[in-house]
Amino acid sequence: MTRFDQPPSRDGDEEAAPSGRLGPFSIAECRESAPHLRRELETLDYELRGVVNRVLAEVEDAKGDAATFLRAAATVLLSVSAGLMETAAERAREPADVGAFKDVAEDVAQWARSRKLRDLLADEE
């Protein structure tokens, strides 16, 4: 069975490693990937959103703070993403590019914001 490595427990005091060479794909690279990979990525996106929505519903049913959950969940998902990038770098036997990870995270946040705005504007038409 193939899996990505679970990160060791951390206390958050570690410094980031120096920037290397292997970083995550951009949104454009994901969208332009081979059809089979694109389908797998779309499945992953769908499954992750489903899990988040299910847990969010449980938080709301328990009268929990949905906004706090979503903010914390974003951090958890970034942690998972960073772990995936580290595992990919290890498998490629190349250092991970932390700077590229930060850049892609910022680009993805801007892409998500513009996508949400487009969706809102489309709903108003």
Domain boundaries, the chain: 27-124
pTM greater than 0.85:
no
Tokens of 59: 């938080």
49 in Cβ contact with 73 (< 8 Å): no
Sign of the alpha-carbon torsion through 11, 44, 86, 20:
negative
Tens digits of residue pLDDT in 72-89: 999 999 999 999 999 999
Average pLDDT estimate for 1-23: 53
**Is 17's pLDDT higher than 90?**
no
